[in-house]
Amino acid sequence: MKKEDYLEELYKIQCRNNRVARVTELAHALKVSDSSVSEMIRRLQKEKLVTFERFGGISLTAAGIKEARKVIRKHQLLEVFFSKVLKIKTHSHEEAHLMEHVLSDAATDKLDSVLKKPKLCPDGNPIPEKNSEVVSLIQLSVKSKAEVIFVASKNKACLERLNSLGLVPQAKVRVVRKLSRGPLILNVKGSEIALGPDVCASIFVEKK
Amino acid sequence: MSCNPKACGADIALVGNPNTGKSCLFNQLTTADAIVSNYPGTTVEILEGKTAIDNKVMHVADLPGIYNLGSSSDDERAATDYIIEKKPGVIVNVVDAALLERNLYLTLQLLELEVPMVIALNFYEELEDNGISIDYNNLSALLGVPVVPIDALRGAGIDILVKTIDTIMQDSYKFDYYHLKYDDHIEKAIDKITEIIEEENIPKRTASINLIEEDDVEWGKAGHKEEVRKIIDELSKEHALNTEIARERHGQAALLAQKVMIQGKPKKHFKDFLDRFTTEPLTGGISLVFIMGLSFFSLFTIGNYLSDLMGKWFDLLIANPLNPLIKAIPSTALQTVLTWGLQGINAGLQIALPYIFIFYLVLGALEDTGYLPRMAYLLDRLMHKMHLHGNAIIPMMLGFGCSVPAVLATRILPNKKDRILTSILICMIPCSARTAVIFGAVGKFIGAGYALLIFGIVLSLIFAVGYILGRFLPGESTGLIMEMSEYRLPQLKNVWKKTWMRVKDFIWVAFPLIIIGSVVLGLLKVYGVLEIITKPFAPIISGWLMLPAIAGITLVYGILRKEMALELLFVLGGSSRLLNFMTPLQIFIFTLVVALYFPCVGTLAVLKHEFGWKKSLAISLFTIALAVAIGGFVGRLFLIMGVPNHGNQLI
């Protein structure tokens, strides 16, 4: 298993569940043992791509999310290429999965422009943009707009509150006000919500 | 629809998100009193009242404000159970028109239950002021239930709402409930589960969705657990089902809202300016200090004025005409009972009532404007120093009124650690009874500056305790997540109603206690029992705290109600001029101790109810130790600084 696979899978799990991921979850998804997950996570932790608390869970860092999105972008563009240009319907996912590791950044950009910069992959998922800026909510300044990637929290009460207030992946938000280093007031779906600095630090967004 | 309200719920139930003006609509519909508030968590209990529609008496229930049907909080569980189990005749889904998209999330869940319902679009006029309108006829057509725009504050649209409710009750409305389509894999699972389970009190499809969402409440009732669980377990290997369902609802709510909302040009409003002014770092800080200062200033000046007025009227109307009559009574025992009882009433009227009344008036106005969440936002950083978050400021503010509802209000905090720490701090916050003692003793006889000094000492102690204790209490804490409601002009009627409810509570509970307490104390004194009781405590009371022996006995009574400590001191000292029998330093120490020691029995009971005996006793002992230590220490400090323990002035 390659490092990219871990980042990619971790990203998918976190976006789907809107929380941190567990070791067993990742092992199940990648069909590897818990111990190999732990080993790889330790390596990624050293590279500051993920954070890992023994009893908490695994989460990508902003840098980790960027890396993961890069791989996913390659994967999805390849899928578009297979289905739109080559008209391959079966196994396109597997093919893309193999090729995503060897496709160079330059070739990816070329592929993107040849395909006329598609917004969605064949499954209907949005394709990450090339130079999107990934930060945690606390790093946003007043008036900036962003789209939620996921909430990297393990706190159930916190997650439930945020879910019911509409802070879910792909939700569009705008910072209305901010005190120097937080808390800030966020506009989500027309309502304004005050969030403490610690909550903000666990919410990753893409700057718009 | 004739139904026994106890067995099958009210005829009309109000359901909606927090802050949608449900309680306000409840007040409009019914004759009963209810508290209207602007922050989440107040309507913990289900309020019930009566109204007349078409010459028939209807029961109306106001369910707690929720964002979601389910069981993740007490409020959610209570509201959901009420709707499903008690089957109210008509559900009025109160929706904040300005937040249509978010409110529709709950509406979509209600629609799935296929209950008779009507959507009340509240604050509709306010929305039109902002240049937005909602095509509510279209919304009604899309959702298959009636939609009525209302303004619960001013009472607009209520008549149409009542008519619609009546139509539903006559069974003459044809519902055509909107059903959400989920992703294919979820729909397939819904179909499979629907075939297995039997119809209970909710539609099968909805029951299946609940099971897939893994709602605990429903799991317990599913008699076909194994089969159903298999289907769900299989599916949840690949999918995060509850998140997917939630996302689908959010997405649908957004689509629906887009379809019916017509965006015009928003007008600039004074309240937008006010919102900005009170939350920007600099001006927000200034306005916070100003608002707090003004509140305490009015509490002090108006409270003092009312207190003097009460004293005068009491003497003129009650004491002066009655005293000669009492003196004429031949029995000493009866004479004692009457004089001391009368003095108790006097003390209650002069000390507690004025300050408590003004406090609740100010708090009520603050609540209804929507300022409290802004305070939470501004003070979040400061609260972090106490290992808490901005949301803890709301129960703590309530604590300035009474610790009992304040401890209950800690339920809005999302975890145990924050709740316990906040409750400990609430026990130390000067509640209105203690504020009454501080103003009525120190403020009145030594000076306002010294009253503020007591507040200063107590507040710094609270800060220190939070700072130190917060570090050692186990458990993780959740950060601030709080909705900012819009500023609204408080309605005099609402504020008045709320203040009256709270003060009435105080009068009914406190006055009997004060009168009985005074009488018992009087009898003990007349028959010489008092000296015997006070003796063992002499080393602490007279030695360490340097207080007169009678002060010790009143401290014991203060456990019943805090302000009784001072009231009975007046009674025991035989004068409502404290300086006649205590030095200013003694008054200062006494007040400081009263402000800090032991939460009153009411608070103890609610602490026990929330956290169990062990923790509540630990909290009590802690505060006693703190009060005695600080009282003696501050006294010594004053002596060292050259403050005399005699005369009529502190310095």
The model's pLDDT over A52-107, given as tens digits with 9 standing for 90+, comes to 987 778 999 999 999 999 999 999 899 889 888 888 877 777 888 888 888 888 89
Q: List the single residue in B67, B98, B373 with the smallest CB-CB distance to A164.
A: B67
User: Average of pLDDT values for B174-197?
Assistant: 88
Minimum-distance CB partner of A198 among B246, B377, B479:
B479
Closest CA of chain B from A109, distance in Å:
31
Distances (CA, A) of B335 to B240, B326, B329, B574: 76, 6, 6, 15
B68 with A158: Cβ contact below 8 A: no
- How large is the average pLDDT for residues B353-377? 87
Contact B534, B525 (CB under 8 A): no
| Chain A residues in contact with B16 (beta carbon < 8 A) | none
Instruction: Give residue B650's pLDDT.
Output: 63
Of A163, A188, A192, the CB nearest to B246: A163
The whole-angstrom separation of Cα B352 and Cα B401 is: 12
DSSP states along chain A: --HHHHHHHHHHHHHHHTSPBPHHHHHHHHT--HHHHHHHHHHHHHTTSEEEETTTEEEE-HHHHHHHHHHHHHHHHHHHIIIIIS---SSHHHHHHHHTTT--HHHHHHHHHHTT--SB-TTSPBPPPTTPPEEEGGGPPTT-EEEEEEE----HHHHHHHHHTT--TT-EEEEEEE-BTB-EEEEETTEEEEE-HHHHHTEEEEE-
Min distance A64 CA to chain B CA atoms (Å): 22
CA distance B152 to B34: 14
Q: Which long-range contacts (CB under 8 A, 24 or more apart) does B577-580 make?
A: B577/B445, B578/B441, B578/B444, B578/B445, B579/B445, B579/B648
Using alpha carbons, list the distances in angstroms from residue B278 to A67, B272, B373: 41, 10, 11
CA distances from A135 to A60, B235, B381, B444 (A): 11, 33, 22, 57
| Residue B97 to chain A, least CA–CA distance (Å) | 11
Q: Rounded to an integer, what distance in angstroms lies between the CA atom of residue B597 and that of residue B537? A: 15
Smallest CA-to-CA distance from B99 within B66, B127, B136 is with B127
| ipTM summary value | 0.85
* Amino acid sitting at position B383: M
The torsion angle over the Cα atoms of residues B643, B646, B648 and B650, rounded to 10 degrees, is 20
- The minimum CA-CA distance between A20 and chain B, rounded to whole Å, is 13
Q: Which residue pairs, CB below 8 angstroms and at least 24 apart, start in A6-9?
A: A6/A30, A6/A37, A6/A40, A6/A41, A6/A44, A7/A44, A7/A49, A7/A50, A7/A60, A7/A64, A7/A67, A7/A68, A7/A71, A8/A68, A8/A71, A8/A72, A8/A75
Please determine, for residue B541, whether its predicted confidence score (pLDDT) is greater than 90.
no
pLDDT-derived band at B90 (thresholds 50, 70, 90) equals very high
Q: Which residues in B have their CB inside 8 Å of a CB on A?
A: 67-68, 72, 98-102, 105, 237, 239-240, 243-244, 246-247, 250, 254, 276, 279-281, 284, 373, 376-378, 380-381, 384, 389-390, 414-415, 476, 478-484
- CA-nearest residue to A154 within chain B is B478
Contact A197 B479 (CB under 8 A): yes
Start-to-end C-alpha separation, chain A: 33
Between B513 and B622, where is the model more confident?
A: B622
Mean pLDDT (chain B, rounded): 83
User: The dihedral of CA B484, B489, B493, B496: what is its sign?
Assistant: positive
With CA atoms as reference, the chain B residue closest to A168 would be B247
**What local confidence, expressed as pLDDT, does residue B622 receive?**
92
Does domain B184-263 sit in CATH 1.10.645.10?
A: no
Percent of chain B with pLDDT over 70: 93
- Which of B484, B485, B487 is the best mutation test for A, with the most CBs of A within 10 A? B484
pLDDT surpasses 90 at B193: no
Chain A residues in contact with B380 (beta carbon < 8 A): 179, 182-183, 194, 196-197
Residue reference for tokens 């297995």: B196
Tokens, residue A138: 């606390």
Q: Are B91 and B177 in contact (CB under 8 A)?
A: no
Give the least confident one: A21-35, B568-582, B629-643: B568-582
Q: Is the pLDDT of residue B577 over 50?
A: yes
Q: Do B380 and A169 touch (CB under 8 A)?
A: no
| Sole residue written with tokens 């570090």 | B471
Confidence (pLDDT) at B649: 62
Q: Which range (A109-113, A151-155, B224-228) has the least confidence?
A: B224-228
Lowest model confidence (mean pLDDT) among A187-201, B466-480, B510-524: B510-524
Yes or no, beta carbons of A179 and B281 under 8 Å apart: yes
Which residue among B100, B381, B478 places its CB closest to the CB of A158?
B478
Predicted pLDDT of residue B324: 86
Of B102-106, B179-183, B596-600, minimum mean pLDDT range? B596-600
Query: From the CB of residue B136, how many other CB atoms can be counted at a distance below 10 Å?
Result: 18
Highest mean pLDDT (candidates B457-461, B505-509, B514-518)? B457-461
Reply yes or no on whether the pLDDT at B591 is more than 70.
yes
Q: Find the CB nearest A199 among B247, B415, B481.
A: B481
Mean pLDDT of B620-646: 89
CB-CB under 8 Å, B102 with A165: yes
- The pLDDT value recorded for residue B6 is 43
Residue B423's H or E segment, with its range, is helix B416-428
Residue B474 distance to chain A (closest CA, Å) = 15
Among all residues of chain B, which has the CA nearest to that of A199? B479
Residue A147 confidence (pLDDT) above 90: yes
Given pLDDT bands bounded at 50, 70 and 90, which one contains residue B65? confident
pTM, to two decimals: 0.78
pLDDT score recorded for residue B16: 94
Confidence of residue B333 (pLDDT cuts 50, 70, 90): confident
Residues of B in contact with A189 (CB under 8 A): 99, 101-102, 254
In a 13 Å sphere around the CA of B272, the CA atoms on its Cβ side amount to 8
Q: Average of pLDDT values for B277-285?
A: 92
Instruction: Give pLDDT, residue B45.
Output: 67
Domain boundaries in chain B? 5-169, 184-263, 281-640
- The winner for highest mean pLDDT among A47-56, B279-288, B530-539 is B279-288
Which residues of chain B are within 8 Å of residue A158 when distances are taken between CB atoms?
414, 478-479, 481
Mutation pick from A24, A191, A198 vs chain B, by most beta carbons of B within 10 Å, is A191
Q: Tell me if the bond preceding B584 is cis, omega within 30° of 0.
A: no
When pLDDT is averaged across residues B250-254 and rounded to a whole number, the result is 89
| Homologous superfamily assigned to B5-169 | P-loop containing nucleotide triphosphate hydrolases (3.40.50.300)
pLDDT-derived band at B148, boundaries 50, 70, 90: very high
More confident residue, B159 or B32: B159
User: B572: closest CA among B588, B548, B607?
Assistant: B548
pLDDT at B39 > cutoff 50: no
Query: For position B2, what pLDDT does the model report?
Result: 40
What's the mean pLDDT in B70-79?
76
Nearest to A195 among B99, B276, B481 (CB): B481
Q: Do A28 and B281 touch (CB under 8 A)?
A: no
Higher local confidence (pLDDT), B478 or B278: B278
Chain A residues close to B476, C-beta within 8 Å: 155
Residue scoring higher pLDDT (B9 or A204)? A204
pLDDT band at B225 (very low <50, low <70, confident <90, very high): low
The stretch B585-607 carries a mean pLDDT of 87
DSSP annotation of B33 reads -
Contact: A189, B254; criterion CB under 8 Å: yes
Which DSSP symbol is given to B487? P
- Give the span between the Cα atoms of B367 and B577, in whole angstroms: 36
Answer yes or no: do B378 and A179 touch at CB < 8 A: yes
pLDDT band at B462 (very low <50, low <70, confident <90, very high): very high
Mean pLDDT of B122-132: 81
Pairwise CB contact (< 8 Å): A196 & B479: yes
Question: Is pLDDT larger for residue B448 or for residue B42?
Answer: B448
Q: Which domains does chain A have, with CATH numbers?
A: 3-60 (1.10.10.10), 134-207 (2.30.30.90)
The predicted structure's pLDDT at residue B42: 39
- A37 vs A160 pLDDT, higher one: A37
Distance CA B328, CA B335 (A): 9
**Contact between B53 and B162 (Cβ < 8 Å):** yes
